[in-house]
Amino acid sequence: MRKSQTQQRKSVLPIGPAGAMPDNLPADAVAGDAAQQAAQQAAQDAAQQAAQQAAQQAARELSAASVRERVLALLGLIALTPLALLVVELPARSATLSVLGSPLSINLSTDSLLLILIPVLTCAGVDWVLRDHPDVRAGEVPYLFPFWVAPAFAALALSLLLTRIPTWPVWILTLLIGVIMIATLVFAEYVSLSPNARGYAVARLALTGVSYAIAFALFTLVYSARERSIISATLTTLIAAGLALDLLAPHIIGLRTAAVFAGVIGLMVGQTTWALNYWNISNWSAGLLLLTVFYVLIGLAQQYFQDRLSRAVLIEFVVVALAALVVAWQLAGVR
């Protein structure tokens, strides 16, 4: 009788799969609950992350659409300004100043207004476009004026060319090419604000190439004016320093450091202009020589900041400079 009661008591007690006693059951239940909560938390985190990514993607698409609209508005304004000034005849005025004991005449006309108005409009428009960048809105880019320089000088080169072209077809073609170059620069400046952005390398490459083209055009145009060295050397100094400030990426290496290097580069290009004014060479040769000096100095500075300055790099720049000298010598008689 006792034996049967004992067997009944044993049969009531639940036995685990490995013969474990009931004390282990609450731990298993807690572990299961913890795993379930962890799975729920992981699912919530994944859903939240997906929602954040979707929101960021929507914000990027909205920002891209806004940037395109702003750039198109800027380009329309730049293209319409020369056309509007064609129908406006302003009275020509002149002023005479004394610079270092020599008289300096300044003529004010519709062309002068074009040379001032388009670069100013371009600077204002570029600032308007760049302020829509997420990094700028977040306060990660404290200054924007170095990024105005290349588009502003592109607008200045376009204005100078438009004042010197007498035929309509070439005038319209020059205007279209200039507007395209300015658009390229604006988009490149926008993308290059963030070094981690997709397409940053392509944007910097486009910015560099167009900036060198602008430098060559402005150096040639300034030298072709055959003004005194106090004017031509000063202008090339400002052009070279401004473009160098943009090309040296001040938002990466620091504004003060970039400004010092840009100032040195500008002064060296200006001194080269001063020396070239004593030579009887063509405008193309002078523009190419000034571009070579500018290119070599910019390249050496960039290689220095990237810790890539070596003997091989120096030899490469020497070869480029010698090749440019040969080409400039061949173009010396081309007027």
Domain boundaries in the chain?
Answer: 67-92+105-197, 199-335
What does each C-alpha distance from 134 to 12, 67, 330 come to in angstroms? Answer: 69, 11, 49
User: According to the model, what pLDDT value does residue 1 have?
Assistant: 44
Which pLDDT band, with edges at 50, 70 and 90, does 34 fall under? low
**How much of the chain, in percent, has pLDDT values that exceed 90?**
41
**Tell me: the pLDDT tens digits for 83-109?**
888 877 767 677 676 666 666 667 777
Mean pLDDT, the chain, integer: 81
Angle between helices 110-130 and 25-86 (to 10 degrees): 170
Which pLDDT band, with edges at 50, 70 and 90, does 231 fall under? confident
What does each C-alpha distance from 112 to 96, 171, 226 come to in angstroms? Answer: 15, 17, 18
| Burial class of residue 15 in the structure, from the number of CB atoms within 10 Å of its CB (0-12 exposed, 13-18 middle, 19+ buried) | exposed
Residues 188 and 227 sit within 8 Å (Cβ to Cβ): no
**Tell me: the pLDDT tens digits for 161-219?**
998 888 889 999 999 999 999 999 999 999 988 888 888 889 999 999 999 999 999 99
Q: For residue 301, is pLDDT > 80?
A: yes
More confident residue, 12 or 80: 80
User: Which amino acid would we find at residue 17?
Assistant: P
**Tell me: the pLDDT tens digits for 112-126?**
888 899 999 999 999
pTM of the model: 0.75
Which pLDDT band, with edges at 50, 70 and 90, does 243 fall under? very high
63-79: average pLDDT? 86
Q: Residue 106 pairs with which residues in a beta bridge?
A: 95
User: Which amino acid would we find at residue 46?
Assistant: A
